[in-house]
A and B are shown apart, each in its own frame.
Chain A
Amino acid sequence: MEIPGGIGWAERVVTHLFQTNTFVATYALEARLDALRQQRMLLRLLRDDVDVAASGITATDLTCSWRSEAQRGYDDQRNDLAGELRRAAGLLDTALTEVNAAIDEVGAEMTAATRLAPGLAPDLVPTWVPR
Chain B
Amino acid sequence: MTGERPGGPGDTLIVSGGGSTLVATDTLLAEAARLRLLQGEAEDWLERLARIQTLDSDLPSGPVMTAPSGGMTVFAARSTLGRVVERSQSLADALIAAAEGYGRAERMRDWGASVSGAWLGSTLGLLAPLLALAAMPGITVGAVGLLVGGLLTARRPGDVSADIGAWFQAHPRALTNPVLVAAVRVIVSSTDDAAAGRAGVPFPVSLALGDEGLGLLGVTTTAAGLVGLARPLGLLRETPVSVERLDGPARRPAGSVHPEAPPGLPPRSTSLPGTAPSVRPVAPPTGFGDLAARIPAVSPHAAQVRIERYGGPDDASWLVYIGGTAAWSPVAGEQPWDLTSNLAAVADQRAGSYRAVVQAMREAGVAPGDPVVPVGHSQGGLIAAQLAASGDFNTVMVATFGGLTAQVTLPADVVAVTVEHTDDLIPALGGTATGDDERLVVRREVFAEQEVPQGQSLPAHALIGYRETGRLMDGSEEPRLQEFRATLGEIIGTEAGESSRWRGIRLADG
Is B25 in contact with chain A by the CB < 8 A criterion? yes
Report whether B63 and A102 are in contact in the complex, using a CB–CB cutoff of 8 Å: yes
In the complex the two chains form, what is the Cα distance from A35 to B53 in whole Å?
Answer: 11
The yes or no answer to B30 lying at the interface (CB within 8 A) is yes
Q: Mark A61-103, 1 if CB is under 8 A from B, else 0.
A: 1101110001000100110110011011001101100110110
Are the C-beta atoms of B59 and A35 separated by less than 8 Å? yes
Q: Is A127 an interface residue when CB atoms closer than 8 A count as contact?
A: no
A43 in contact with B477 given A81-B88, A88-B77, A102-B67 (CB within 8 Å): no
Q: Are B41 and A91 in contact (CB under 8 A)?
A: no
Contact indicator per residue, chain B 51-73, by CB within 8 Å of chain A (1) or not (0): 11001101100111001011001
Least Cβ distance of B479 to chain A in Å? Answer: 14
User: Considering the chains assembled together, what is the distance between the CA atoms of A80 and B2 in angstroms?
Assistant: 20
Q: Are B80 and A95 in contact (CB under 8 A)?
A: no
Residue from B12, B31, B55, B84 in contact with A35 in the complex, judged by beta carbons closer than 8 Å: B55
Pair count A-B, CB < 8 A: 116
| Bound-state Cα–Cα, A118 to B46, Å | 46
By a CB distance below 8 angstroms, the chain A residues around B477 are 60
- B48 contacts A42, CB within 8 Å? yes
B87 located at the interface, meaning its Cβ lies under 8 Å from any Cβ of chain A in the complex: yes
A108 contacts partner chain B, Cβ-Cβ < 8 Å: no
A110 contacts chain B at the CB level, 8 A cutoff = no
Q: Which residues of A contact B64 (CB under 8 A)?
A: 39, 43, 95, 98-99
Residue B1 CB within 8 A of the other chain: yes
State the main secondary structure of chain B at its contact with A: helix
Q: How far is the CA of A91 from the CA of B75 in the complex (A)?
A: 9
Segment of B3-11, B315-323, B330-338 engaged in the interface with chain A: B3-11
A60 touches B2 (CB 8 A): yes
Contact between B67 and A84, CB atoms less than 8 A apart? no
Interface: B355 (CB within 8 A): no
CB of A117 within 8 A of chain B? no
Q: Find out whether the CB atom of A87 lies under 8 angstroms from the CB atom of B87.
A: no
Which of B5, B6, B83 touches A84 (beta carbons < 8 Å)?
B83
Task: Decide: B52 and A43 in contact? CB cutoff 8 A.
Answer: yes
Rounded to whole angstroms, the CA-CA distance of A12 and B74 in the bound complex is: 48
Verify A35–B91 contact, CB threshold 8 A.
no
Nearest-CB distance from A88 to chain B (Å)? 4
Among B1, B42, B51, B95, which residue has its beta carbon within 8 angstroms of that of A65?
B1
Q: Which chain B residues lie closer than 8 Å to A13 at the CB level? A: none
Using a CB–CB cutoff of 8 Å, the interface residues on chain B facing chain A are 1-2, 5-9, 11-12, 25, 27, 30-31, 34, 38, 41-42, 45, 48-49, 51-52, 55-56, 58-59, 62-64, 67, 69-70, 73-74, 76-77, 80-81, 83-84, 87-88, 91, 94-95, 98, 477
- A selection of 30 A-B contacts at a CB cut-off of 8 Å is A32-B59, A36-B62, A38-B55, A39-B52, A39-B64, A46-B48, A53-B42, A57-B38, A61-B1, A64-B1, A64-B7, A65-B5, A66-B27, A74-B95, A78-B31, A80-B87, A81-B91, A84-B83, A85-B84, A88-B45, A88-B77, A88-B80, A91-B73, A91-B76, A92-B77, A95-B74, A98-B63, A98-B73, A101-B63, A102-B62
Question: Could you tell me which A residues sit within 8 Å of B by CB distance?
Answer: 32, 35-36, 38-39, 42-43, 46, 49-50, 53, 56-57, 59-62, 64-66, 70, 74, 77-78, 80-81, 84-85, 87-88, 91-92, 94-95, 98-99, 101-102
